[in-house]
Amino acid sequence: MTIAEVSRQYGLSADTLRYYERIGLVPPVNRNSSGNRDYTEEDCRWVKFIKCMRSAGLSIESLIEYVALFQKGNETITLRKELLLEQRRQLAEKVEELQNTLAYLDTKIDGYEERMMKCEEELKKFDE
């Protein structure tokens, strides 16, 4: 796949894809005879993984650490799992915070019109 096709498929700019490759989040992508990037299925799996992890809030630094550990082989499985578990814990905290915020907004929205009508009625009394 070309960089344009990968960009469209994953909703990432070509610049972002080049950046991910330059900093080592995506392994070096093979080039075709014209010198253009030619993404393989494996390259695309890395792009999908990185995009998912970034969407979950993982920092570039954490991802660089994860990829470096991955490249060292199976002896780093435990460390990689620990890194992912920590990131999961942080994400779960964020989700809980967002759920609390959503519940607060729901409470504010419930009965909003009725409360506003009452306030407007009170304001009308001052105009009379």
Q: What is the mean pLDDT of each run of 10 residues along the chain (128 residues)?
A: 96 96 93 95 96 91 93 96 93 95 92 83 78
Q: Which residues contact 85 (CB under 8 A, 6 or more apart)?
A: none
Shared-domain flag, residues 82 and 127: yes
Q: Are residues 66 and 126 in the same domain?
A: yes
> Are residue 38 and residue 74 in the same domain, yes or no?
no
**pLDDT score of 128:** 66
At 56 the pLDDT is 86
Q: Give the count of domains, the chain.
A: 2
pLDDT for 54 equals 93
| Domain boundaries, position 3 | 1-55
Judge if 16 and 30 occupy the same domain: yes
The verdict on 81 and 47 lying in the same domain is no
- In this prediction, residue 124 carries a pLDDT of 82
Could you count the other beta carbons within 10 Å of the beta carbon of residue 60? 14
Same domain as 69, residue 10: no
Distance of alpha carbon 11 from alpha carbon 15, whole angstroms: 12
CATH number at residue 97: 1.10.1660.10
pLDDT at 77: 97
Please tell me the predicted confidence (pLDDT) of residue 113: 82
pLDDT at 39: 97
Distance between CA 8 and CA 13 in Å, rounded?
8
Residue 120, pLDDT score? 83
Give yes or no: residues 12 and 64 share one domain.
Answer: no
Q: Do 48 and 69 reside in the same domain of the chain? A: no
41 and 72 belong to one structural domain:
no
